[in-house]
A = this chain, B = another copy of it.
Amino acid sequence: MDWLGKVNWGEDGLVPAIAQEASTKRVLTLAWMNRESLARTAATGEAHYWSRSRGRLWRKGEQSGHVQRVLEIRLDCDEDVVLLSVEQAGGIACHTGRHSCFFQKLENERWVTVEPVLRDPKEIYGR
């Protein structure tokens, strides 16, 4: 598919993908995509990423149920960053049980946690 070829995949075959919540416009997370994950995301309407730590394709929410329904896919000017507009199932994008992964805020040269855990990760993932 030609549209996949237009993406400037990195040397490792990946590009960063930002997930932004459609309703709140909050930036939820940044994950990585390879060609297959972007193709599956477009085909299924659900966010698929490439897990660098596990070295495998990963359907967001496959374990947690916190899937991301994708409303829109955008590409940046350099064609090396993807932006997804999503609906976040369960209102939890982060593996820590928080709404967004960006819960640490810089205040006076310290990172301060400014968002609550909405659900205990032990409940989400089991023990």
Contacts and interface: CB of A to CB of B under 8 A. Distances in A.
A93 to B, nearest CB: 10
Contact of A74 (B1, B2, B94, B106): B106
Interface in A87-127: 94-96, 98, 101-106, 109-111
A81 B30 contact: yes
A86 interface: no
A105 B79 CA distance: 11
A77 to B, nearest CB: 5
B3 A30 contact: no
Nearest to A17: B30
Contacts of A103: 74, 76-77
